[in-house]
Chain A
Amino acid sequence: MKDLVESSGVRVAFKEVDVVTTGTFGAMCSSGAVINLGHADPPIKIHRAWINDVPVCHPGAAVDLYIGATMMSETRPFEYGGGHVIEDLIRGKEVEVRAVAYGTDCYPRTRLETTITKEDLNQFYLLNFRNCYQRYVCATNSRDEVIYTYMGKLLPRFRNATFSGSGELNPLMNDPDYETIGVGTRIFLGGAQGYVIGEGTQHDPGNRFGTIMVRGDCKKMSPDFIRGAAFTRYGTTLYVGIGIPIPILNEGIVKKVAIHDEEIFTDIIDYGVPRRDRPRLGRVSYRDLKSGKIVIGDRTVRVSPLSSLRKAKEIAEILKSWIEEASFYLSAPVERLPTDTVFKPMKQTREVVFVGDLAHEAVTCGEDESIEMAAKRIVEHSVNHLVVVDDEGRLKGIVTSWDITKAVAEGVRRLREIIVRHVVTAAPGEPVEVASRRMAQHNISALPVIDRKGRVLGIITSEDISRLVGGGRYG
């Protein structure tokens, strides 16, 4: 279609083409499945339940459960989760159900253990409350350590970047004003036919971050298009394949589906800053992203997708063949999706404390000082950490009272020899919670606070955090 519009123009394309099929196959965390187990004898009103050790929610009455894709196994966390349970059930595998209850007069049973397959379930429906993002940001990492995120593994200092979504093939990108996609639109979902049941949560069409809520019968789905997945140190999720047909009702729609990757832009976002509003480092098109290389500042950075473009194309092709062989019928929406909703931030009633609020002046020294001088400073200021800086106040290393003690015991005389050069740091704009997590991860008790140029602004110690939590200066 895109080529046809380019070669022959909108009018010809409108005459020639009836439907354009689209597709995407990516990790969609806000996914899950509703199942109904049927009643046991004696019956149980499930209070808590697990499938293959993955906790599942019990949002309804006695035996309805919701398997959330991101819920993780209690015995194999970060490896196996709700997404994998859904995939295993779709594959026809047996899964173990465990449940406990408090027991009532009508539901006396308090424990349940059984194994089931999808055939044993009354209903097994995929019910995803946010899928199919119109586009997503490109993620990179400014920190000097590897970070593991829902956008994948991000190497230190912008050494790679990741993105998600299929760009010009993305369903919602081809109908950005929701003229044909609405409540009741029949779609390809996980290898079967499903439906759009509304806008997805966080639907933000004005900023081209539209989403949809979908439902489909898992019993008819294929593991080729529904796959459990695990992002290291982030958790489990579900890869979902979605394809949506766009009927070419008028020339306006022709123009919209003719969109190209080079016209779809997204922001490059620094995931190294763990805040709601992460720094925006630039703008790239999906054409740049799909080329494998993007430019951030003055460097060229390798970029790779997290969603499968091959599968996205396959989905669009399969949907096309379904329509051609008349096994899939397009449906008109019964209600349009909102085009004016916005994605509001959370209302927070308790203030977050930032590193900058808590940090205090660091006791510093130069690299060429003697061990005795360093020891004197530590005693004078009654601190445990000396931050080593150069003439311009830039961080050069750190020395603790333990390092000094050890140096004295071993007869080391020069401070230079005991300075720890690889220093874990904090930025003033980071929440204290994030900094304290970093301290725990590295098993250390203080972080020098530095600005973007590496100049020391202060220090934050575990004592500061204890005071914050336990009361005292900030309590």
Chain B
Amino acid sequence: MVRVLLRFSREKAGQPITSQVILETGVPINILGAYIDQQGGEILVEVPSDRAEEVIRAFRERGVTVDVRKLIEVDKGRCLDCGACISLCPVGAIAFTKNLSVVFDREKCLGSTCGLCVDACPVKAIRLIG
């Protein structure tokens, strides 16, 4: 599965683009998180790896900004491995390793559609990208 962040401008947010793409491509798209305000909206989706290219193209053709970069950046130089972020993560993307270091699972992370951990870091080592 590939995680893709879709960004909708204010005009695009009012259109049923996601439904159109699903109907057109026939690809089951899993919506993990969605957010909308006056400026537009964001949807984080998961698509099967082998159909990702096709889905991304379909969204781009409709004027949606598609972002497949990583969603979160952790500055390990700053991180204290305290773990204050762990219990905040709704999808269990943050955990302790065996030697008690904190690790982020970028495959599970919801990125900017969530961001609950960001302001909980006492040393501000977590940054959302995009």
Contact = CB atoms under 8 A, between A and B. Distances in A.
B87 A230 contact: no
Interface in A136-180: 148, 152-153, 155, 160-162
Interface string B102-130: 00000000000000100110111000000
Contacts of A308: 80-83, 100
Contacts of B123: 227-230, 239
Contacts of B119: 148, 153, 232
A307 B123 CA distance: 12
B86 A304 contact: yes
Contacts of B116: 153, 155
A229 to B, nearest CB: 4
Contacts of A229: 80, 122-123
Contact of B81 (A79, A231, A292, A311): A311
Interface string B76-90: 000011111111100
B99 interface: yes
Interface string A161-205: 110000000000000000000000000000000000000000000
Contact of A307 (B82, B88, B96, B101): B82
Contacts of B88: 153, 155, 160, 304
A305 B122 contact: no
B85 A230 contact: no
A291 to B, nearest CB: 11
B100 A306 contact: no
B80 A162 contact: no
A227 B77 CA distance: 12
Nearest to B101: A310
A302 interface: yes
A309 B80 CA distance: 10
Most chain B beta-carbon neighbours within 10 Å: one of A153, A303, A309: A153
B80 A153 contact: no
Given A153-B119, A229-B123, A161 B82 contact: no
B84 A152 contact: yes
Contacts of A25: 80
Given A152-B120, A153-B84, A161-B87, 16 more contacts: A25-B80, A152-B122, A153-B88, A153-B120, A162-B84, A229-B122, A229-B123, A239-B122, A292-B87, A301-B87, A302-B86, A303-B87, A304-B85, A304-B86, A306-B82, A309-B96
Pick the 4 closest A-B CB pairs, nearest first.
Answer: A229-B122, A304-B87, A310-B100, A304-B86
